[in-house]
Chain A
Amino acid sequence: MLAFILRRLAGTVLVLLTVSVFVFGFVRLLPGDPARLVAGPDATAEDVAAVRADLGLEGPVWRQYVRYIGQTLRGDLGRSAKTRQPVIAEIGARFMPTLWLTLVAMGWSTLFGLAVGVLSGVKRGRWEDQTAMVLAVSGVSFPSFWLGLLLIDLFSVRLGWLPTGGDDDWRSFVLPSITLGAGVAAVVARFTRSAFVEVAGEDYVRTARAKGVPERGVIWKHALRNALIPVVTMIGLEFGFLLGGSIVVETVFSWPGLGRLLVDSVSFRDYPVIQAEILLFSTEFVLINLVVDVLYAVVNPEIRLR
């Protein structure tokens, strides 16, 4: 087990290093002189030189990279070209709102998706199953930004029950988390159903029935437990995708989180912030993948012995 974790950890570090090279190369891939681009057309030569130093664009490339990694590890991500504040402070202020939103969305969509998936699996082929699966495939195809607008239209503009944006109290969480989680709930429901149906055909489930285990016991103890193994992996991966989804949903609801900061930064060409955000998002994503893999190995010994 330890060997497996170490091996996966080494792989993760390698991926993260490569990601850092990508992010590092990002500003250097820009057409033209990035320092001039950031400084603006009216900037003097001194301004451009200052920006160049700010962006870490001086000296040989390998030395720039070493310096970049060193600074990143110390939490120094440069200054925002827009606000002149340290990037780490900008991102720090936006981190918690996004995390909370993602967690709330993840929580309800997982529980709901699992419940619907199991219901569909148990009632396979009946109207409950068919309705749920039509809703699920629609949920996967539904543009989240449109769902957000429809919810705002109904609950904020027409009924006036919930705010249209911001993150003031629990009420402002309702619409964004529904919008963000809907797609995940649909994916979880579909996946749980197929995992459940597959397991329900296994010999041990038939054996359980044959030896007289009550139907409820068959479903909860024998079928669901085994069906959950692949579902857990999938949910972990969906968590990563929720981070991506938050970029769009935060824009719809003016949520003061990382996603909206990223969109604003791209429009403003605030490269230090964009770089830091991309690094942060992908690090989170890679770490989640690592945790999922390890959890999977814990529940499924076959993987460990690969």
Chain B
Amino acid sequence: MSEMAIGTVRIRSPLGEFWRRFTRRRVALFAGMVILFLILAAILAPWIAPYDATTPDYANVLSGPSFTHLAGTDVFGRDIFSRIIWGGRVSLTVGFVSVALGCIAGMVLGLVSGFAGGFLDSLIMRFCDVLLAFPGILLAIAVVAVLGPGISNVVYAIAVFSMPVFARLVRGSTLALKQTVYVQAARSIGVRKLPLILYHILPGTLPGVIVYLSLRIGTSILTAAALSFIGLGAQPPSPEWGAMLSDGRSYLGVADHLTVFPGIAIFVTVLAFNLLGDGLRDALDQKLR
């Protein structure tokens, strides 16, 4: 409304309006930049990591932070700073891939469920109820118990428990969008089901999905780190933040840098995704919890 002036009405595209609102939120913008930085560091790991992440150096065991080893070294003399940079690859990949898998599967289920209604809708929603009947990490542990420990199985595990969240969300928006005039209009001029879903309903569900994507990636990274911490995720010598924290447990009070730096890495990454998600939610004006 404030955009109205006498004689002229400025109309922004939805994307432009979103961008204007989003960039006003300094914290979210900063969080977004932190994430970009982390992604860049993960991609460039082979070039920017000062040392190899897995080669032991027994002459430099458990040395504290210094100019040669910025975050110190671990029990095998491996440079912790380098391991954290490489570990970013693991954590970010797990976060993005698992949530992407869960999101795609959930969106398909949600669109079908909301659009078809009836028996299919009940069936899909009961299925989601069952998946949601397990606390997230428990479901992940169950999947790992069947498939065996390892980071790729953690990805599937997290995808499975992200799926019902997206399915419910997309189903909700689909139900609402089905009633809108433009979808009714498209239907009345004979647009077939698939194009109707893809071009008229799907885009409308995206704002909610985008917000949840960011929030879920944070949760997924945290869950993956937790699973690695309890020994069910990444296996040694793979540099994974949760597993690094677990390795450092025995040296509390003796060599705190073993746990402090991986802890900071997890915290900053998850915080950045959560803050970005909050900012996106406000900017997209989504009424989500």
**Would you call the interface of chain A mostly helix, strand, loop, or mixed?**
helix
Per the 8 Å Cβ criterion, residues 101-141 of B in contact with A are: 126, 129-130, 133-138, 141
Do B289 and A241 touch across chains, with their CB atoms under 8 A apart? no
* CB-contact partner of B242 in A141, A145, A266, under 8 A: A145
Do B133 and A142 touch across chains, with their CB atoms under 8 A apart? no
Known pairs A26-B146, A263-B232; A145 contacts B226 (CB<8 A): yes
Do B231 and A191 touch across chains, with their CB atoms under 8 A apart? no
* CB-contact partner of B142 in A15, A248, A251, A278, under 8 A: A278
A274 part of interface (Cβ distance < 8 Å) = yes
The segment from A80-88, A170-178, A221-229, A280-288 found at the interface with B is A280-288
Q: What interface size band does chain B fall in?
A: 35 or more
Query: Number of A-B pairs whose CB atoms are under 8 Å?
Result: 127
Closest to A265 in B: B145
The segment from B16-24, B42-50, B267-275 found at the interface with A is B267-275
Closest to B258 in A: A149
B residues less than 8 Å from A11 (CB atoms): 129
A residues less than 8 Å from B149 (CB atoms): 266-267
The segment from B80-88, B162-170, B177-185, B248-256 found at the interface with A is B248-256
CB distance from B82 to the nearest CB of A (A): 20
B280 part of interface (Cβ distance < 8 Å) = no
B residues less than 8 Å from A245 (CB atoms): 137
Per the 8 Å Cβ criterion, residues 147-206 of A in contact with B are: 149-150, 152-153, 157-158, 191
A residues less than 8 Å from B259 (CB atoms): 146, 149-150, 153
B222 part of interface (Cβ distance < 8 Å) = yes
A97 part of interface (Cβ distance < 8 Å) = no
A30 part of interface (Cβ distance < 8 Å) = yes
B90 part of interface (Cβ distance < 8 Å) = no
A residues less than 8 Å from B94 (CB atoms): none
CB within 8 Å of B: which residues of A?
A: 11, 14-16, 18-19, 22, 26, 29-30, 137-138, 140-146, 149-150, 152-153, 157-158, 191, 234, 240-241, 243-245, 247-248, 251-252, 262-263, 266-267, 269, 271, 274, 278, 281-282, 285-286, 289
CB within 8 Å of A: which residues of B?
A: 126, 129-130, 133-138, 141-142, 144-146, 149, 218, 222, 225-226, 229-232, 242, 245-246, 248-249, 252-253, 256, 259, 262-263, 266-267, 270-271, 274-275, 278, 289
Q: List 30 A-B contacts (CB under 8 A).
A: A19-B133, A22-B130, A29-B146, A137-B274, A138-B267, A143-B242, A143-B245, A145-B225, A145-B229, A145-B245, A146-B259, A146-B266, A149-B249, A149-B259, A150-B259, A150-B263, A153-B256, A191-B289, A234-B289, A240-B135, A241-B135, A247-B141, A248-B137, A248-B229, A263-B141, A266-B141, A266-B232, A274-B142, A278-B134, A285-B133
